[in-house]
Amino acid sequence: MDVLLLAHPNDQWPHRVERLISGRLAVHIADVQTHPEPHIDCTDVRLIVGSPSSIARWIPACPNVEWIQSTWAGVDALVDTLPDGVVLTPLKHVFGQSMSEFVLGWILALERRVIERAGATHWDDRPELGVLGKKMGILGTGSIGSAVANAAHQFGIECRGMNSNGRPIPGFTHCFKSNDMAFFDGLDYLVSVLPKTSATDNIINSDSLKRLAPNSLVVNIGRGNAVDDGALLHAIRQGYVRAAVLDVFREEPLPQSDPYWHEPNVFVTSHTSAPTSERLVSEAMAKNLERFLAGQQPLGAFEQHKGY
């Protein structure tokens, strides 16, 4: 066995990957819900494909693995168990469309009072002002952040970005260096697509939230560590943040006792902003597979010093 695919029984992506690899490497598909099976010899496995949490359980059984392809964009569940010398590639450059749909869908729904009007029981002809001319700040200017910015521009929303060094990125009117608080000034919409690293801990905090425009909206589709949860709840309850759409959390699933569930202006979306389409895994790894077979390093690998 050269390749180990870890998947749920009904997943279709393994069959697409299997066709991609067909005739070149020996493939075995294992149930993601099981632990390494004693009767399966994994000593020759060179490539593992699956979610980070499932792969972490199988790594000890695969001493000669060379490349790990994650089926998720975030790989923090795997980082601590990654053997030295093993290349880890997150699922990149495939979530821009779905993330953009999510962010703009929720912003439009809240600004145009779609949810409120859907439950209307009396005539209400108060107009909404819409999103034209509003300011969006996107924490993270990679492929996902850029896709969200490009989608927002179609609605006349001005976008600024924050990245590690303030480098300019097409699609953003201005990019700020990490922890430059001026980034937050006057934002109508604050969107985080940040990975989980020590540098992104609590970047959305009481100081940054107070700099936002009145009636601002906060959307987190990156990782839960970016938000100081107590500060966000306080900002919403005090009224200087109108609402928050939260897809990711420090602990998932979010415990039923968490106050977010009971806050009327917080919308919990249970890590659904970017479902992995069945075609994406094979599409994302096609070019790297050719490089791997040619003895070259896969592109877009996780970098330990960056944390993503």
The neighbour count for residue 46, using CB atoms within 10 Å, is 15
Please tell me which residue in 252, 279, 290, 291 is annotated as part of the active site: 252
> Cα–Cα distance between 91 and 50 in angstroms, integer?
10
Dump the DSSP string for 91-107. Answer: --SS-HHHHHHHHHHHH
| 39 in active site | no
Per 3-state DSSP, what percentage of the chain is helix, strand, and coil (rounded to 5)?
A: 30, 20, 50
| Residue reference for tokens 């009971």 | 262
Q: Which of 93, 2, 94 is nearest to 49 (CA)?
A: 2
Please tell me which residue in 28, 93, 271, 283 is annotated as part of the active site: 271
Q: CA distances (Å), 83 to each of 36, 251, 304, in order? A: 17, 25, 12
Please tell me which residue in 111, 160, 223, 242 is annotated as part of the active site: 223
| 223 in active site | yes
The neighbour count for residue 139, using CB atoms within 10 Å, is 24
Contact 187, 212 (CB under 8 A): yes
- 3-class SS string, 116-179: HHHCCCCCCCCCCCCCCCCEEEEECCCHHHHHHHHHHHCCCCEEEEEECCCCCCCCCCEEEECC
> Cα–Cα distance between 13 and 23 in angstroms, integer?
18
| 234 in active site | no
Which residue numbers are catalytic?
Answer: 223, 252, 271
